[in-house]
Structure 1
């Protein structure tokens, strides 16, 4: 006896009772451990709903009672705690220790030197400023990630008032009847009431990744997660289809109970972040070694111990690139936002790094290269072709002589899980579900068929869902006219034809002889050669709706073929050409017929030669690993057709063995393993399944291959920008260090530039230009270069050479200016002190010389090979503004008395500024000449390679 039969309401947490469904308060609905014992027909009443789902009129009251179906965001630490965490960074710890030592040295000095106190305060200010910048960037990055994640739609299909609707997952309510298919993420905890060979991946809850079968029958009491007739939020449907009633949402779900434990887990650092951290440690170690060396060299000259120690400590601190972490964060954040504007949502920073080195893209066809708006244009039946007019999902058009093919279209439409949605205020005609099935529904309407009436006349009683191995699906229907049952099937012609024993030929039932079979295959090839995707449709009578799949899909009668066209996206051809120029190989991996795949590949430019390598699934499976490696290792154009998701996994593995960096596109649940295994898994945001989107590290919001090419271009520019500001920052350090080293070894008693001045350069005039370089747009030829090697480090030989080249020029310039000014004054070195005007002018010349030189360095490093004149001086206004801001600060340090006292500077004359500007421009001229030489050398090498 059920609780309902006993007259007492079943109560629990997680859902509404009947009164709640009608808008009242009502008792709570039973939990999963209660509804699982009920027969499917009793579940609806127990959960206050019906097979038609909730009524729209009652959802407002339910939503007010139960709230949104979402989990609360992971708890973040309080703002002050997160700000305090910024002071635990390696650079911050080093600087805090240095500041404390400097304060201590100031206390030990007798007499005390105000400059030591200034240095200690300056170092402390550096720490505070860095912490503020780091905190601001972290806070901004979190907000950016949240806003970008919101761009990916999380929807599900439910029944409301008996109609199937697509709604945001957050709007799912207890009592909703959810429609689930392979590839869907389960939106809430549900009890199954109808199941067709359903399997679910419960890894998110149980840790077991193997798919487990599900049933709609009652089960005995026991642990909730072991209930085979329940599905839970956070899990994925891997096969089959089902209907289920929601009994728990949001935090009341099983997943909600453990969410807070997992949501607070710390994020792992990406390889790029680890590489930068290692570089920072090495730089800090180098700065410490240089400081110690200068201390040991200056100590024997008779300088006081404390002053010498403070000097060396100040130099060491000044050589640490304090602004590097913030600049890195800005560059990556800008890159991610730019990719989002190009419809590519990057979920992990690792993808930004890997995109720049992608060498192979394994792309599917439908929806990625094409528009994903399948349209039936040809129907073949009984030896005759029938044209179909109209394009897209709007049922505008007609079928030529529809009578002979009306039954074919009726069977194809009934053997479908998609739904055609009429236009609304915000959308035109669209399809919920598979686009191929949507095309069949549209064609059936063009032939005058009423889908609702046909479903009522032949209601579905069983289903054998599509899977990639069989490449077909079948459904069992009850014929209300005769009381018997019929099996309807559709799928790949080669697969379905092998299961057919007869054909419906111009209204006659004929045995499928070898001659007829050959005629069908020839018609299939004719349609495929036109670039059409071809489906075969068949049927058979059945005495029992519970036939096993093998029996149901045997002895079928072929009704005919349907040819569909999915036109290529207009922007794809240009994107394919860009990938070719960039040295990226494109391999089409599709489940379509080889002739169809080749026709589309030629239209978009993936295939240009006369004889590309084309392999079918059967040929592919016959290859062992060595044969596959040899096939993929050969240069040339390659199409893999009629392949399974397991085959796609083998392709990715073979490409990895050969050292390729692989990006893979996918949209189905079966694509998830390949998406995870690839370096860059790219899921379709519009048509892809929830499982595919979760497995991928990048989601294409518009499903277009052109967005992949744009993301690769932006990914390359992000990595280049990181290198640009590394060259900019470290070339400045050389310009700061060389004058000090030169003065130390020349026996000059004072320093050409003080530690406080270096800190002013690093944070006052270097940080903003470095940040602006992180926002540098991609260079015009960024897609004309081969992919970089994944083993290539940030500090490559070329980067180090460029740092030494640019830093060396400005270092020689400012060192020469300093000693020239001292020499021209005629004052002996021994007579100079820190208050001497000549010395203060010389120090100001060095300080201003580095600032102006760095302005020209910032312009010079904007491109690797292209001339600055080609990209335009004004194409990055933020960089010009940042440079002008730094020069303005330098002018204030030179002319404003309070800043003169703080930095020990003196006013410069117009001639001094002109001299420094001329020296700084030498850096830009020298770099332009170097780029010209590189371009000429590259051009010569290219000509030699073509001979």
Structure 2
């Protein structure tokens, strides 16, 4: 909070004289007259010269642009990912092998270039997805209004908001956006919507009276940049601009919050390190083994190269990126826009959703749902500001709704092309206008029949508003306000169209109804009326001797689809915690309506109580699995809660729509912003934007995210199992004393980049399994290469390796040529290595079918249910046939034509693999059935 000692004068002094006059108290504690002197200004405003001097000295009223790295740096960063580095090393080794070969093989050069192409493709995808993800500062700037009305040289001027300086005197009225942090010096029934800063949905009243020190956002005599004036007028003095404002503080929190790496990012990085280390270690070991055995240096190096290439899944980065992109497209079709590919998978591992209330769970549109008149409750249908719906038995309620509508200053605005109905002014009054329309009242006609001739605006002391109207029968007053305060001013009650005396028993009945509506989380207003003798009676006359008409209950209605989405999250083991700036009672009522709270005793924690907890106490609070509501919280509180959950190894998704949500959105594992009603800063800080603002899209996104993870594991099993089929024959040849490699580095690259990528992509496009949301989220610490995954890789890879080793050594030994006499040009050797390459390609076709399911038989899932997979598999086999039969490719890969018998043998090996995997799945199903509910 800025104090007088923080305020600098145009001549560069520190304002200490002004501070002395103000006894060193903060701006909020000063009387309006002293505020002017403390900020070195006057009721006439600054002079143009003084304002220009302050603008030059302290800068414009705008937030600094975020510092973004140059485009070339962002693109270059894509090549520093460890898997990209591994691929670059593989490419460099391939180039080196080409340089060392004698004679040189142009095919090796072509494949080295192809690896670089894969790296470039991965980098392009990542760059395109993330290029626009860090523009928070520009979005914050866009939220600041462009012009404001300022007194300069005692003349009211409209100036660009960026030219505001400390000490400027601004005028505010309903509909204005606040351009800087200001201290009110005059206030006429002004209310402000602070939702963008505090998250509180209801407009709050403001006053120019001095206050004691306390949290700055609770200062009722201050208004803040980025908020909106709902009703009333005011004069205010600017005391903070740009980054010094509360809005600027949120900007700095957002800019400072680091992007959190997703679990998949950590696991892929770990996997890349292990794969790279293993490849280099095994290659170096075999190079050291073969060199002393008399093999030439280049020959031994090329052999080691083959081992290293066999262990590096060159197609994995492209497969991973494109598979995640498939998930992105699926989510986009369901109104969830994901800006970072890896966020798709992170959604599937979400364990906690911290959700905002206003605009996320609710529609951010106050709606009348109940009207109580004459002892009878009348339900009102329809939600939002569109006057579509009806009032049950509308005739008895028209009097109360007519009175409430006449006693309102809001205006209902029809939708423009493609837009929605909205309210200009107080949202509560807008809800009353909509309810009156639903009861069959024509607002324009009613105003014409009873034109307003006087008004006593609402204030927070008496909690009432009254208007005076003329009509055919004379003058009358319309009054609305808080039920208890209005009831005290009533002497009669309209009871079923009969005005009778308001007895104590009837007063108690009204308050009982009021309490019941309040327990339902409704905001309750009362309406009353009285006849007047003239057009200009004083306020006490207007607001006394009233006839009580009835009660109106309204709420910000939950989105209809939210309850089902919350239920789905709970079923999936995801904890849903409401984190809002709203009042605890309002928050709990909404939480019960949407199913977040179902027990009688949820834990309700306010921001003030959070301040009293140290980190250990907060961790203990969050460790409990009970229902939790966090209310009246600030952006710092939200970030602290997210950090505390992350300390517990939770994967945290945070939803929100306001600027106050932006720091937590950015700091979370998954930031989810509202696309239609959300602010620009929230959308930019988040990694996922719900285009339809529906919380239900989160549950859908989690389901798709979980299926993405399942599919990633499927194609990891698919890709890594054939690495074993490539590596084992090389090791077997080494220990058997065979001088040449059973499969060359060029052939391995052809398999990895030519035959494996498309089937892996098809596996990545598998639809979600039916029970994907019936299991708890996986642990953040769960590894991609879990024991089950590794066991399956070894099982399938071992079968492939045994098959290709068998056909290789069978063909070599059948030739009758001694091992030492084999050369790369030997026909039998070329046929043998062609059998090995084709054996791996054919067995991978059957392997792709096998890994589609973990326990269910692939025949039950349907062999034809993924036609893309079949097409990709046949493409790989066709490519292998081309490598075997086309002379140009034979020269590149050193292959030879295969016979029909060869293909039949290789097909038999594939059938054996599929049959073995089906037998393993059958055994797992049998064990699960035997254990009666064991692992599924």
Considering the TM-score relative to the shorter chain, is it more than 0.5? yes
Deviation of the 1:672 alpha carbon: 6.1
The residue correspondences of 1:240-389 to structure 2 (distance < 5 A) are 272-347=264-339, 351-361=343-353, 375-380=367-372, 383=375, 385-386=377-378, 388=380
The residue correspondences of 1:772-783 to structure 2 (distance < 5 A) are 772-783=762-773
Deviation of the 1:933 alpha carbon: 3.7
CA offset digits 1:241-275 (Å, max 9, x no partner): 79999xxxxxx9999x9x9xx99999886553344
CA contact (8 A) 2:348 2:706 kept: yes
Deviation of the 1:306 alpha carbon: 2.2
CA offset digits 1:686-735 (Å, max 9, x no partner): 34456655665543332323211101111212223333332222222111
Deviation of the 1:737 alpha carbon: 0.6
Structure 2 residue 782 is the aligned partner of structure 1 residue 792: yes
Task: Sort the Cα spacing of 1:945 and 1:852 in 2 relative to 1 into closer, same or farther, 3 A.
Answer: closer
1:898 corresponding residue in structure 2 = 888
CA distance in 2, matches of 1:83, 1:651: 34
Task: Sort the Cα spacing of 1:887 and 1:231 in 2 relative to 1 into closer, same or farther, 3 A.
Answer: farther
The residue correspondences of 1:37-436 to structure 2 (distance < 5 A) are 112-114=102-104, 118-119=107-108, 121-122=109-110, 124-138=112-126, 140-141=128-129, 196=190, 236-237=226-227, 272-347=264-339, 351-361=343-353, 375-380=367-372, 383=375, 385-386=377-378, 388=380, 393-395=385-387, 397=390, 399-402=394-397, 404-406=399-401, 409-410=404-405, 413-414=408-409, 419-427=411-419, 429-431=421-423
CA contact (8 A) 1:806 1:857 kept: yes
The residue correspondences of 1:760-909 to structure 2 (distance < 5 A) are 760-909=750-899
Structure 2 counterpart SS, 1:785: coil
Number of residue equivalences: 819
The residue correspondences of 1:301-700 to structure 2 (distance < 5 A) are 301-347=293-339, 351-361=343-353, 375-380=367-372, 383=375, 385-386=377-378, 388=380, 393-395=385-387, 397=390, 399-402=394-397, 404-406=399-401, 409-410=404-405, 413-414=408-409, 419-427=411-419, 429-431=421-423, 438-445=430-437, 446=439, 447-450=441-444, 457=453, 489=481, 497=484, 502=489, 505-506=492-493, 518-524=508-514, 526-527=516-517, 533-537=522-526, 560-564=550-554, 571-572=561-562, 574-586=564-576, 601=592, 612-615=599-602, 638=627, 643-645=631-633, 660-667=650-657, 679-688=669-678, 693=683, 696-700=686-690
Structure 2 counterpart SS, 1:401: helix
Q: TM-score, normalised by structure 1?
A: 0.69
CA distance in 2, matches of 1:895, 1:149: 60
CA distance in 2, matches of 1:886, 1:296: 35
Structure 2 counterpart SS, 1:769: helix
CA distance in 2, matches of 1:77, 1:158: 28
Deviation of the 1:875 alpha carbon: 4.1
Task: Sort the Cα spacing of 1:527 and 1:86 in 2 relative to 1 into closer, same or farther, 3 A.
Answer: closer
Deviation of the 1:778 alpha carbon: 2.0
Deviation of the 1:407 alpha carbon: 6.6
Task: Sort the Cα spacing of 1:126 and 1:504 in 2 relative to 1 into closer, same or farther, 3 A.
Answer: farther
CA offset digits 1:156-212 (Å, max 9, x no partner): 99999xxxxxxxxxxx9999x999999x99799999999847699999xxxxxxxxx
CA distance in 2, matches of 1:94, 1:707: 37
Structure 1: gaps (5+ residues) = 1-35, 44-68, 161-171, 204-212, 218-228, 246-251, 465-471, 491-495, 542-552
Q: TM-score, normalised by structure 2?
A: 0.69
CA distance in 2, matches of 1:265, 1:534: 37
1:912 corresponding residue in structure 2 = 902
CA offset digits 1:859-888 (Å, max 9, x no partner): 333333444345444444433333222222
2:14 corresponding residue in structure 1 = none
CA distance in 1, matches of 2:127, 2:831: 43
CA distance in 2, matches of 1:900, 1:77: 46
1:17 corresponding residue in structure 2 = none
CA distance in 2, matches of 1:97, 1:616: 55
Deviation of the 1:847 alpha carbon: 0.3
CA distance in 1, matches of 2:868, 2:551: 60
Deviation of the 1:587 alpha carbon: 5.6
Deviation of the 1:72 alpha carbon: 11
CA distance in 2, matches of 1:654, 1:93: 34
Task: Please say which of residues 865-874 and 750-759 is displaced more in the overlay.
Answer: 865-874
Deviation of the 1:905 alpha carbon: 0.7
CA contact (8 A) 1:158 1:179 kept: no
Deviation of the 1:504 alpha carbon: 6.6
**Which of 709, 715, 728 in structure 2 is aligned with 1:719?**
709
Task: Sort the Cα spacing of 1:758 and 1:519 in 2 relative to 1 into closer, same or farther, 3 A.
Answer: same
Task: Please say which of residues 852-861 and 935-944 is displaced more in the overlay.
Answer: 935-944
CA contact (8 A) 2:75 2:127 kept: no
CA offset digits 1:203-256 (Å, max 9, x no partner): 9xxxxxxxxx99999xxxxxxxxxxx9999xx64399879999xxxxxx9999x
CA offset digits 1:60-88 (Å, max 9, x no partner): xxxxxxxxx99999988678x98777666
CA distance in 2, matches of 1:505, 1:273: 70
